[in-house]
């Protein structure tokens, strides 16, 4: 039993999902239990993973290049922990809403388990299959309320991401044609030899992988689906989309670029890190500019996600230790902060309108949520006591260390724009409402519903805010989690 724990982390929530769909009883208890089980069994691997061991599990007992294998190292452990933690919070947050029935929890559990599968797999074809499962669950969750606009957003996302995943499969096919295996480590071993004979195929598959994962994580020329999908989905779904689904695309990119393509010679010839750096800078500035012009709160948060993804890409592009450290730390920070911000936005939208202009006076009506929103947005901007500061600071340091001081300036400039659009919301929160009479009945109803939802709706926000504050005050705690993962990234680069 204990030997099979890696696959149980994935299979257990998946099977519970089907039990929920069939029997429609004890929905919340079962889904909470299954995610808690996965979290606990993941944490069981923590000591050995952080000693530097790499745990690999072979399905059906067939060894690596032949069979399908799962791999838990510190990088995949870190990402899986983030996914399951945010997933747990999302389940708690959606408990009080009666509109979420068994279909919702079914899709949510499929989404979470297939994301963990995508992270653990050591096989590029399985990565494609599981990523497609993630994507299908995501389309249905975005269109969950079946509003017209959400359906359109979901269809838009479906078109873009299905084309992207086909591109990924084409890349997988050309890698398979050249190497005759699908196992990431085995391909990586054979890559220098293949590159010497036909470099074009390797470059083509690298471009295909970057394009497809770029669509998945909204790198700027490919970001068209994100603002609609993230802002029109139900709030807990937006939280999981912005917090972790985007990060899974990032994980696949990191795993493939730094685990598969980054043999020394290829990195020099293709210079994939320049691609990341340039597109990261474009993404950063574009996301910040577009967020500044938004009038809808959730849409602004969605563009802010694009902004932060750009920052992470820049950090990865430097190809040095502190850059990776900052980027991975920012992955964790952004997951905590942005999902909590979307939770807050869910409560804020319930009290009235989605428009930022009409939120005046919210800070007085609901001081606790407004206070959490302020703290979290300080984290996203990167103001010292919060965790966002630490990761942005590390990335800026890496920029100067790697000799791209101009990028440090770009990051600081983008942070200023970030501050501008978050402070605008905060300022409106604490200003007097313009027409107090028209807003009153709305707010009364909302307060009533907030009273009942209090425990389940507010606790995830408190927990995530507490985590971010803790990581901000004691950043070494977070860096302790991240440093072994950075070592995995550097393993293939510096030889």
R_g (Cα) of the chain, nearest Å: 22
33, 37, 50, 155: residue in contact with another protein (rule CB under 8 A): 155
151: contact with another protein by CB under 8 A: yes
- For 462-467, which contacts have Cβ atoms below 8 Å and span 24 or more sequence positions? 462/372, 463/89, 464/89, 464/336, 464/337, 464/339, 464/340, 464/343, 464/376, 465/340, 465/372, 465/375, 465/376, 467/336
- In whole angstroms, how close is the CB of 286 to another protein at the nearest point? 21
- In whole angstroms, the minimum distance from the beta carbon of 155 to another protein comes to 5
Question: Is residue 366 helix, strand or coil?
Answer: coil
Which CB, 256 or 374, lies closer to another protein? 256
Fill in the per-residue mask, 35 to 64: x = in contact with another protein (CB under 8 A), - = not in contact.
------------------------------
Q: Does 125 bind another protein (CB under 8 A)?
A: yes
- Is residue 270 within 8 A of residue 203, CB to CB? The reply is yes
Query: What does the block give as tokens for 410?
Result: 């770009």
Q: Per the structure block, which two tokens stand in for 89?
A: 């919070």
* CA gap 148, 432 in Å, rounded: 34
The answer to whether the CB of 131 falls within 8 A of the CB of 165 is yes
Using CB under 8 A, pick the residue from 56, 166, 190, 442 that binds another protein: 166
Q: Is 465 in the site for another protein (CB under 8 A)?
A: no
Kindly state whether residue 228 participates in binding another protein, applying the rule CB under 8 A.
Answer: no
Distance between CA 59 and CA 121 in Å, rounded? 11
Among 40, 159, 368, 440, binds another protein (CB under 8 A): 159
Residues numbered 129 to 148 that lie near another protein (CB under 8 A) are 129, 132, 136, 139-140, 143, 146, 148
Q: Considering the rule CB under 8 A, would residue 14 count as an interface residue with another protein?
A: no
**Which tokens hold the place of 264?**
């020394």
Binder of another protein out of 11, 59, 162, 383 (CB under 8 A): 162
Cα 137 → chain centroid: 15
Burial class of 403 by CB neighbour count within 10 A (0 to 12, 13 to 18, 19+)? exposed
Site for another protein in 255-294 (CB under 8 A): none
If one asks whether residue 169 binds another protein (CB under 8 A), the answer comes out as yes
Binding-site size for another protein (CB under 8 A) equals: 24
Provide CB contacts within 8 A for 370, sequence distance 6+: 362, 363, 429, 430
CB-nearer residue toward another protein: 173 or 199: 173
Residue 58, by phi and psi: left (phi above 0), alpha (psi -120 to 50) or beta? beta
201 is a site residue for another protein (CB under 8 A)? no
Report the site for another protein in 82-101 (rule: CB under 8 A): none
Q: Site for another protein (CB under 8 A): which residue of 22, 36, 43, 163?
A: 163
Burial of residue 29, with CB atoms counted within 10 A of its CB: 0-12 exposed, 13-18 middle, 19 or more buried:
exposed
- Residue 18 makes contact with another protein by CB under 8 A: no
Q: Which two tokens stand for residue 319?
A: 């190809």
- Stretch of residues binding another protein (CB under 8 A), selected from 79-87, 171-179, 304-312, 329-337: 171-179
Stretch near another protein under the rule CB under 8 A, chosen from 32-40, 43-51, 158-166, 461-469? 158-166
Residues at the site binding another protein, with contacts judged by CB under 8 A: 125, 128-129, 132, 136, 139-140, 143, 146, 148, 151-152, 154-155, 158-159, 162-163, 166, 169-170, 173, 176-177
């Amino acid at each position: 039993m204990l030997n099979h724990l890696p696959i149980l982390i994935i299979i257990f929530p998946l099977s519970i999902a089907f039990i929920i769909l069939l029997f429609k009883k004890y929905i919340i208890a079962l889904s909470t239990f299954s995610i808690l089980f996965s979290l606990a069994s993941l944490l069981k691997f923590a000591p050995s993973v952080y000693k530097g061991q790499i745990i690999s599990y072979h399905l059906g007992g067939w060894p690596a290049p032949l069979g399908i294998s799962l791999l838990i190292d510190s990088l995949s452990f870190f990402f899986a922990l983030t996914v399951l933690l945010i997933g747990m919070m999302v389940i708690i947050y959606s408990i009080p809403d009666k509109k979420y029935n068994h279909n919702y929890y079914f899709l949510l559990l499929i989404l979470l388990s297939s994301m963990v599968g995508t992270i653990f797999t050591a096989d590029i074809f399985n990565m494609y299959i599981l990523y497609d499962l993630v994507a299908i669950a995501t389309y249905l969750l975005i269109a969950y309320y079946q509003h017209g606009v959400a359906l359109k957003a979901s269809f838009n996302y479906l078109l873009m991401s299905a084309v992207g995943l086909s591109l990924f499969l084409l890349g997988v096919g050309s890698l398979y044609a050249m190497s005759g295996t699908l196992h990431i480590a085995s391909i990586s071993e054979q890559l220098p030899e293949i590159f010497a004979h036909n470099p074009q195929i390797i470059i083509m598959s690298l471009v295909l992988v970057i394009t497809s994962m770029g669509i998945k994580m909204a790198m700027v020329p490919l970001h068209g689906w994100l603002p609609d999908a993230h802002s029109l989905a139900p709030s807990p779904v937006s939280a999981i989309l912005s917090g972790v689904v985007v990060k899974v695309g990032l994980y696949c990119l990191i795993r493939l670029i730094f685990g598969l393509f980054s043999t020394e010679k290829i990195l020099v010839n293709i210079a994939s890190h320049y691609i990341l750096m340039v597109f990261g800078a474009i993404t950063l500035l574009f996301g910040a500019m577009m967020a500044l012009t938004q009038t809808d709160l959730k849409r602004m948060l969605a563009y802010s996600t694009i902004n932060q993804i750009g920052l992470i890409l820049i950090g990865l592009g430097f190809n040095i230790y502190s850059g990776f450290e900052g980027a991975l730390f920012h992955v964790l920070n952004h997951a905590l902060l942005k999902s909590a911000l979307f939770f807050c936005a869910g409560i804020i939208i319930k009290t009235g309108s989605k428009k930022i202009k009409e939120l005046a006076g919210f800070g007085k009506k609901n001081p606790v949520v407004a206070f959490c929103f302020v703290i979290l947005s300080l984290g996203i901007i990167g103001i010292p006591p919060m965790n966002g500061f630490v990761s942005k600071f590390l990335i800026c340091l890496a920029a100067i260390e790697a000799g791209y001081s101009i990028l440090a300036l770009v990051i600081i400039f983008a942070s200023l724009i970030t501050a501008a659009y978050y402070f605008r919301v905060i300022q409106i929160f604490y200003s007097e409402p313009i027409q107090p009479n028209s807003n009153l009945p709305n707010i009364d109803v909302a307060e009533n519903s907030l009273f009942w939802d209090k425990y389940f709706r507010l606790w995830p926000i408190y927990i995530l805010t507490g985590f971010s504050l803790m990581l901000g005050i004691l950043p070494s705690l977070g860096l302790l989690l991240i440093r072994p993962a950075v070592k995995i990234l550097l393993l293939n680069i510096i030889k």
